[in-house]
């Protein structure tokens, strides 16, 4: 199994409240809207969607937290980690990262079957899965 450091160098997708990457020179007011969503009660709502998505995913796939080798920690532990700290969620050779003050999750090295499942789960949570332009 690859290390977290190795997985952070692989292609990635974003699970987000927005359906695609916002262009830097776009005509909208992305940063003002982002500040709005980062207000604690709104951010908490988004983070609960992240928790629900990961817990639903855990019904289909074994997950572990950070460098732990024992899969499938208690759902309360998964939820607490996502809500309160930076966490690496391992699913085999896939990595999902979450920070408590981010409106998105980053999914590294996911295969097509996992991406299909994530797209379906995102729909149920009102989230989107997209791939940014990668260098």
Q: Which two tokens stand for residue 50?
A: 């992240």
Consecutive H or E run containing 72:
none
Q: Residue 1: its pLDDT value, please?
A: 79
Q: Residue 118: its pLDDT value, please?
A: 98
Q: Which two tokens stand for residue 116?
A: 């299909």
Q: Which two tokens stand for residue 31?
A: 């940063």
CB 43 within 8 A of CB 127: no
The position carrying tokens 């855990």 is 58
Residues of the domain holding 9: 4-20+29-130
The position carrying tokens 């289909």 is 60
The position carrying tokens 């930076």 is 86
Q: Residue 2: its pLDDT value, please?
A: 87
* Residues 58-112 pLDDT 10s: 999 999 999 888 999 999 999 999 999 999 999 999 999 999 999 999 999 999 9
Q: How far is CA 72 from CA 14, 55, 114, in A?
A: 23, 10, 17
135 within a domain of the structure (yes/no): no
For residue 134, pLDDT over 80 is answered with no
Q: Residue 133: its pLDDT value, please?
A: 83
Sign of CA pseudo-dihedral 124, 102, 95, 12: positive
49 within a domain of the structure (yes/no): yes
64 within a domain of the structure (yes/no): yes
Q: How many domains does the chain have?
A: 1
Q: Residue 135: its pLDDT value, please?
A: 59
């Amino acid at each position: 199994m690859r290390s977290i450091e190795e997985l952070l160098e692989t292609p990635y997708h974003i699970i987000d409240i927005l359906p695609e990457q916002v262009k830097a020179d776009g005509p909208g007011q992305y940063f003002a809207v982002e500040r709005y969503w980062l207000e604690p009660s709104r951010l908490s709502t988004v983070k609960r969607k992240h928790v629900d998505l990961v817990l639903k995913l855990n019904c289909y796939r074994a997950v572990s937290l950070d460098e732990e080798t024992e899969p499938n920690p208690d759902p309360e532990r998964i939820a607490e980690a996502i809500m309160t700290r930076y966490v690496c969620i391992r699913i085999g050779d896939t990595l999902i990262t979450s920070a408590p003050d981010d409106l998105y999750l980053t999914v590294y090295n996911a295969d097509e079957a996992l991406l299909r499942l994530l797209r379906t789960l995102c729909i149920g949570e009102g989230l989107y899965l997209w791939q940014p332009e990668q260098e």
